[in-house]
Amino acid sequence: MRVFMPLLAFLLIMPLALSAAEVTGKVRVIDGDSLRLAGHNIRLFGIDAPENDQTCVTRGGLRWDCGAEVTRLVREALEGETVTCDLRGKDDWDRDLAICHLGGRNLNAWLVEEGWAFAFRKYSMMFDLEEKSAAVNGRGLHAHDVQRPVDYRQEKRAQSKPPVVRRIPATDTGGCRIKGNISANGRIYHMPGQHDYERTSIRPDKGERWFCSEAEARAAGWRPARR
């Protein structure tokens, strides 16, 4: 019997250890799905609210600041309230993922039910029915034309990326194979077979170009590479 006592003690203690992954404190609202309390940055698990700078369009075609409005509504409802959060790991930004409660109310579910956030189905189906109910009844964001926040973020990242500069290969030059390169040494053209020919790329956006003959390159102001 004594052999099993450590195991029994562990099983009795384990629920207490799991419940220790709770934090309670007064809330500071960051945005529609992010809070700070008791020294923790909290990302509400399983839901996705509009970004602060996200805009939406009413059914009448008017654009409005839906992200800022959701943040305002959440702040109005929760700022300074004492909330308990059940921690469920970390997200990619090292925030604590959590399901939070105010009194007996599940705040994650409440935000989705009210239509101020979406079920984040990529990570959880927990709030799927709450979103469907909000959509059917046209509550909150569902009364307007709203881009899902995850799509908005992806589109914003794509727009912020620098344009891809196409480097023209030799096979795309119509038979003109001489590379007119611009460097710190000036305007230099490279002939096929020369030392730096293969590793030299042509950037038309920088004024570099292809030539069909050495005479054409020289006439344009380029000089031959030394090797």
Write down the mean pLDDT value for the chain. 86
Number of domains in the chain: 2
Give pLDDT tens digits for 148-159: 999 999 999 888
Residues 87, 124: Cα–Cα separation, whole Å: 15
* Same domain, yes or no: 89 and 190: no
Q: Which residues of 2-24 are buried (b: 16+ CB within 10 A; e: fewer)?
A: eeeeeeeeeeeeeeeeeeeeebe
Q: Which of 115, 120, 130, 147 is nearest to 51 (CA)?
A: 147
| Percentage of residues of the chain with pLDDT beyond 70 | 85
* Same domain, yes or no: 143 and 47: yes
**Which residues span the domain enclosing 196?**
170-224
Q: What is the pLDDT of residue 166?
A: 54
Residues 197, 227: Cα–Cα separation, whole Å: 9
Give pLDDT tens digits for 11-67: 344 443 344 499 999 999 999 999 999 999 999 999 999 999 999 999 888 999 999
Least confident of 77-86, 102-111, 163-172, 183-192: 163-172
The answer to the question of residue 32 being in a domain is: yes
Give pLDDT tens digits for 60-92: 889 999 999 999 999 999 999 999 999 999 999
- The rounded radius of gyration (Å) of the Cα atoms in the chain is 30
DSSP, collapsed to helix, strand or coil, labels residue 129 as helix
* Same domain, yes or no: 143 and 186: no
End-to-end distance of the chain based on CA atoms, in angstroms? Answer: 87
* Same domain, yes or no: 122 and 186: no
Of 149, 181, 213, which one is at a domain's C-terminal end?
149
* Same domain, yes or no: 176 and 135: no
pTM listed for this prediction: 0.63
The residue assigned the tokens 């964001």 is 141
Q: What is the pLDDT of residue 60?
A: 87
Domain with residue 47: its CATH number is 2.40.50.90
The answer to the question of residue 2 being in a domain is: no
Q: What is the pLDDT of residue 184?
A: 81
Q: Which residues of 101-136 are buried (b: 16+ CB within 10 A; e: fewer)?
A: beeeebbbbbbbbbbbbbbbeeebebbeebbeebee
Confidence grade of residue 167 (pLDDT, cut at 50, 70, 90): low
Give pLDDT tens digits for 177-202: 899 989 888 898 999 988 888 888 88
- Confidence check: pLDDT of 116 > 80: yes
* Same domain, yes or no: 190 and 143: no
Q: What is the pLDDT of residue 8?
A: 40
* Same domain, yes or no: 122 and 194: no
- Confidence check: pLDDT of 171 > 80: no
